[in-house]
């Protein structure tokens, strides 16, 4: 095996002595292991040091020399940042001079007349090693762009502060730049670097006034561990102000998450919580500051519990699918026309958990596929069962999440459900929330077109809750529009709301789309919708989502109405 030392160039040593005999002796000792160069006085030594500052590993410096002596060299080196990093061993015959030289920054001394060769070699070797180690450490400690600690050293030091200075009440503060990757993409990395440097400088200036440490933890994420602050808003403004004037064309927005000091919390946990807070104000340009509080903690513990328990929930059938009917209100009496499958979680200890509590959580970490696949499978099975049991055709719609869109097996899975349960494509409708259309427009449109070509019907869920505009509708490959509840809520009291509903209905008619009005609770709402030409209604007025055995009563009622009519 080749040792790395053998393939490296030998380290460079400068020997400075006015006496030729001394230069020769030291040269003879060192030349086997090092590349040695020489200077005859202090002035010449400084010239060489400046020229070869990056390459020099060590200087052996005689103290008594003409022109410029060793002490003057030491003094000059101490005040020069570039030269200061080169270790110097002084060569001297005087005890007093040794001490003075060490005080002036020399790393070690070698006494004249020269010692045993091995001792000299060992001293030179050790000092080089020490100094290289130190330089390595300080290079690794800091982020070069901002001169703040990098993440490992940051936590090392934060832990020390926490352990050894319990009297200090430290806050954990996280600063993040909104859409930094976009700023980088559009304006170039140099501009991005300038933002980071500017923030780094402001943080260092802040830390020169306040006790604490800071790190550029990740690309555009800054961690600050500092003594308790009174006014976080003001602190955020301070950092925001420092980037406001960087460019006339680019607006840079910072957000801040804070976990204020609490006696019993270690830095890692403090910063986890500050991060939770910081994530909560992502994209919130009006209110970019969030301070961690106890309710977030309760929520986090609850979420963690749900994440841990999901597998058991699937295995032990704690997840249940409820069905909420959709009625055609243009018939008299209104006719049961389909249902929506809605998940419920009956947790053995936490009780009934509503989807609003866990769907967004699982959407955030990819586990939603587990939930949705479960619901689709169960809904398809149920449709098949009702078909056989009652001979009644009741299509059921299931919800698709944003993450499902990226499942490469999505189409295959859905097609298999249709085949395995002996259904028609129209028996399983797919609800896709409006915001998914705006998020992943291209990918989604392609997927939905493929599904519709197969024969699936697609409903746009929560229409009006997001940003899609009415004129986008004409380009959307959908069959049904589900009008968001907020439109229906006030149609009795608020004329504008009702006009809006009528407008949506008119446009939908023009585009040949059916409309489902969601959240209909009152008869008055129902009548207005009916007059305005809305055909389908889902809401508590007819029924809450029901477990299958209760939903069957609605089917049975419907069948008996049909029989009476015939």
User: Which chain residues interact with ligand C2E by CB under 6 A?
Assistant: 324, 342-343, 354-356, 359, 368, 371-372, 375, 399, 401, 431, 461-462, 518-521, 538-540, 545
| 267 in Cβ contact with 162 (< 8 Å) | yes
Who's near 361: CB < 8 A, 6+ residues apart?
Answer: 303, 306, 307
| 212 in Cβ contact with 235 (< 8 Å) | no
Nearer to ligand C2E, 60 or 371 (CB): 371
Nearer to Mg ion, 143 or 518 (CB): 518
Stretch that binds Mg ion, among 74-82, 358-366, 429-437, 469-477 (CB under 5 A): 429-437
| 271 in Cβ contact with 259 (< 8 Å) | yes
Using a 10 angstrom Cβ sphere, with 0-12 exposed, 13-18 middle and 19 or more buried, the burial of residue 321 is buried
What minimum distance in Å lies between the beta carbon of 342 and ligand C2E? 4
Binding partner selected for residue 519 from Mg ion, ligand C2E, none, CB under the kind-specific 5 to 8 Å limit: ligand C2E
Q: Site for Mg ion (CB under 5 A): how many residues?
A: 4
What minimum distance in Å lies between the beta carbon of 183 and ligand C2E? 33
Nearer to ligand C2E, 244 or 409 (CB): 409
Residue in the structure block whose two tokens are 């209760």: 550
Binding partner selected for residue 466 from ligand C2E, Mg ion, none, CB under the kind-specific 5 to 8 Å limit: none
Q: Where are the beta strands (DSSP E) in 348-401?
A: 351-353, 396-400
The pair of structure tokens assigned to 168 is 């200090």
The pair of structure tokens assigned to 395 is 């299509």
What minimum distance in Å lies between the beta carbon of 262 and ligand C2E? 35
Examine residue 399 and tell whether it contacts Mg ion (CB under 5 A).
yes
Binding partner selected for residue 401 from Mg ion, ligand C2E, none, CB under the kind-specific 5 to 8 Å limit: ligand C2E
Binding partner selected for residue 324 from ligand C2E, Mg ion, none, CB under the kind-specific 5 to 8 Å limit: ligand C2E
40 DSSP assignment: S
Nearer to Mg ion, 22 or 324 (CB): 324
What minimum distance in Å lies between the beta carbon of 389 and ligand C2E? 23
Examine residue 459 and tell whether it contacts Mg ion (CB under 5 A).
no
Closest by CA to 261, choosing from 167, 398, 146, is 167
What minimum distance in Å lies between the beta carbon of 342 and Mg ion? 7
What minimum distance in Å lies between the beta carbon of 481 and Mg ion? 11
What minimum distance in Å lies between the beta carbon of 431 and Mg ion? 4
Who's near 278: CB < 8 A, 6+ residues apart?
Answer: 174, 176, 255, 256, 257, 290
The pair of structure tokens assigned to 108 is 């070690």
Closest by CA to 173, choosing from 195, 199, 197, is 199
Residue nearest to Mg ion (CB): 431
Closest by CA to 110, choosing from 120, 102, 100, is 120
Who's near 547: CB < 8 A, 6+ residues apart?
Answer: 320, 322, 323
Give the one residue of 17, 309, 431, 434 binding Mg ion; rule: CB under 5 A: 431
Examine residue 457 and tell whether it contacts Mg ion (CB under 5 A).
no
> Residues for the chain: how many in total?
566
Stretch that binds Mg ion, among 29-37, 181-189, 326-334, 392-400 (CB under 5 A): 392-400
Binding partner selected for residue 338 from Mg ion, ligand C2E, none, CB under the kind-specific 5 to 8 Å limit: none
Q: Give CA–CA dist 360/362, Å, rounded.
A: 6
Nearer to Mg ion, 215 or 399 (CB): 399
Binding partner selected for residue 201 from Mg ion, ligand C2E, none, CB under the kind-specific 5 to 8 Å limit: none
Binding partner selected for residue 41 from ligand C2E, Mg ion, none, CB under the kind-specific 5 to 8 Å limit: none
Quick one: how many helices (H) and strands (E) in the chain?
22, 19
Q: What is the largest CA-CA distance in the chain?
A: 125
Q: Give CA–CA dist 351/358, Å, rounded.
A: 13
Binding partner selected for residue 359 from Mg ion, ligand C2E, none, CB under the kind-specific 5 to 8 Å limit: ligand C2E
Examine residue 276 and tell whether it contacts Mg ion (CB under 5 A).
no
The pair of structure tokens assigned to 540 is 């508590």
Nearer to Mg ion, 265 or 403 (CB): 403
What minimum distance in Å lies between the beta carbon of 276 and Mg ion? 28
Q: Where are the beta strands (DSSP E) in 151-199?
A: 170-177
Examine residue 461 and tell whether it contacts Mg ion (CB under 5 A).
yes
Q: Give CA–CA dist 255/273, Å, rounded.
A: 15
Nearer to ligand C2E, 179 or 440 (CB): 440
| 561 in Cβ contact with 550 (< 8 Å) | no
What minimum distance in Å lies between the beta carbon of 540 and ligand C2E? 4
Residues of the shown chain interacting with Mg ion in the complex, contacts defined by CB under 5 A:
399, 431, 461-462
């Amino acid at each position: 095996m080749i040792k790395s030392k053998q393939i490296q160039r030998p380290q460079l040593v400068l020997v400075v002595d006015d006496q030729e005999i001394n230069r020769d002796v030291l040269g003879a000792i060192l030349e086997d292991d090092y590349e040695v160069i020489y200077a005859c006085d202090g002035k010449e030594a400084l010239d060489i040091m400046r020229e070869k500052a990056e390459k020099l590993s060590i200087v052996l410096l005689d103290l008594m020399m003409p022109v410029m002596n060793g002490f003057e060299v030491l003094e000059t080196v101490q005040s020069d940042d570039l030269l200061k990093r080169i270790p110097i061993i002084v060569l001297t015959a005087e005890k007093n001079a040794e001490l003075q030289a060490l005080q002036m920054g020399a790393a070690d001394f070698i006494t004249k007349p020269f010692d045993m060769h091995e001792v000299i070699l060992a001293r030179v070797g050790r000092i080089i090693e020490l100094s290289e180690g130190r330089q390595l450490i300080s290079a690794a400690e800091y982020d070069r762009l901002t001169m703040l600690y990098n993440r490992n050293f940051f936590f090392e030091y934060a832990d020390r502060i926490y352990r050894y200075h319990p009297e200090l009440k430290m806050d954990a503060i996280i600063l993040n730049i909104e859409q930094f990757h976009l700023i980088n993409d559009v304006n170039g990395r140099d501009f991005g670097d300038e933002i980071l440097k500017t923030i780094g400088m402001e943080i260092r200036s802040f830390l020169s006034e306040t006790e604490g440490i800071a790190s550029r933890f990740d690309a555009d994420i800054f961690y600050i561990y500092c003594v308790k602050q009174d006014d976080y808003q003001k602190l955020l403004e301070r950092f925001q102000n420092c980037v406001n004037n960087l460019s006339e064309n680019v607006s840079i927005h910072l957000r801040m998450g804070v976990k204020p000091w609490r006696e019993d919390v270690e830095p890692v946990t403090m910063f986890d919580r500050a991060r939770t807070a910081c994530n909560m104000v992502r994209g919130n340009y009006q209110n970019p500051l969030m301070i961690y509080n106890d309710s977030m903690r309760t929520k986090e513990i609850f979420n963690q519990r749900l994440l841990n328990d999901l597998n058991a929930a699937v295995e032990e059938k704690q997840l249940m699918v409820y069905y909420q009917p959709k009625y055609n209100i243009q018939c008299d009496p209104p006719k049961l026309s389909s249902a929506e499958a809605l998940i419920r979680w009956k947790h053995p200890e936490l009780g009934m958990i509503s989807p609003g509590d866990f769907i967004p959580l699982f959407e955030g970490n990819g586990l939603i596929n587990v939930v949705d696949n479960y619901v689709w499978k169960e809904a398809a099975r149920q449709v098949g069962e009702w078909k056989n049991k009652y001979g009644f055709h009741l299509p059921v719609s299931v919800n698709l999440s944003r993450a499902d869109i990226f499942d490469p097996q999505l189409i295959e899975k859905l097609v298999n459900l249709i085949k395995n349960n002996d259904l028609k494509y129209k028996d399983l409708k797919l609800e896709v929330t409006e915001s998914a259309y705006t998020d992943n427009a291209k990918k989604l449109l392609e997927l939905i077109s493929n599904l519709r070509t197969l024969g699936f019907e697609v409903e746009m869920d929560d229409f009006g809750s997001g940003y899609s505009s009415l004129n986008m509708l004409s380009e959307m490959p959908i069959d049904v529009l589900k009008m968001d509840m907020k439109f229906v809520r006030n149609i009795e009291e608020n004329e504008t709301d009702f006009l809006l509903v009528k407008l949506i209905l008119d446009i939908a008619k023009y585009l040949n789309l059916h409309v489902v009005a969601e959240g209909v609770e009152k008869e008055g709402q129902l009548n207005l919708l009916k007059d305005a030409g809305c055909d389908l209604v889902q809401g508590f007025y007819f029924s809450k989502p029901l477990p299958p055995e209760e939903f069957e009563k609605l089917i049975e009622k419907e069948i008996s109405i049909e029989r009476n009519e015939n």
